[in-house]
Chain A
Amino acid sequence: MGMFDGINIAATGLSAQRLRLDVISNNIANATTTRNAQGDGAFRRDRVVMTPINLRNVWRSPVYPRGLETGMGRGVKVERVEKDPSDLRLVYDPGHPDAIAIGPKKGYVEYPNVNIVEEITDMISASRSYEANAQVITGTKQMFNKTLEIGRA
């Protein structure tokens, strides 16, 4: 039914923020992991790329730029989870089993580029976004209940 559109859109927001929180949790858990799944270096921070869901195609033309606007969207979805390409942290520790053996960085150990403070801030932001989406659903529910009250008496 068309009346559940608001709830569905907020549900996509809830899903996306939960996924973002899972990614942050993984980053924090692996904050000092010196190996990664591929075996070629330290763990790199993941980040989430989100994109809005629009059911219509977007075409632009300089002649009629507003002609095919997409109108109301349908929520958000996570497009991909990608690695953050920023530099890794280097700590000098020649005795570490993962220390770099050759080259100019000999003796240094690569640690992940995860900044705990930044991750916790992201986590607070994700949690607040989740709460905001839940608030939207509560508001929609109250609207529904008021509507039913019209027909009741």
Chain B
Amino acid sequence: MDIYSTKGVSFPNAYPKVIGAQARVDLPMRTSDARHMQPSAAQDNPERVTEGFAAVLGQTLGRVETLDTNSQRLSAQAVYAPDSVEAHEVVLAAEKARFALNLTKTVTDGLIRGYQSLTNPR
């Protein structure tokens, strides 16, 4: 139709403009400056318990998994490209992964023992 124009319409699902209408340019106004969005000190406290235990356990296992894959990658690199890794990096990554795994296992063992001692009617 003659009274509508599709020139200057940028979005695929926008309506065609009436010919003669002024194009309205939206100013790029930021409604909130990044400086006001600084995380507050309270949010960074890692001891705040906001999620359920399952989520925390999942996060911990994810971290252990990251350490483990990192250590495996470094060990493989030590075999295939020995000049690209430092010796202490490989050893320390293996130690960190081993310790994180042991710690998670010990903690979950204790929790399971506590749970069992609560639920076993003896």
Contacts and interface: CB of A to CB of B under 8 A. Distances in A.
Nearest to B106: A151
B86 A144 contact: no
B108 to A, nearest CB: 10
A1 B92 CA distance: 14
Interface residues of B, number: 15
B99 A144 contact: yes
Contacts of B99: 141, 144
A148 B102 contact: yes
Nearest to B46: A2
Interface residues of A, number: 14
B92 A137 contact: yes
A15 B86 contact: yes
Interface of A: 1, 4, 7, 11, 14-15, 18, 134, 137, 141, 144, 148, 151-152
Interface of B: 63, 86, 88-89, 92, 95-96, 99-100, 102-103, 106-107, 109-110
Given A18-B88, A141-B95, 5 more contacts: A1-B63, A11-B89, A15-B88, A141-B99, A148-B106
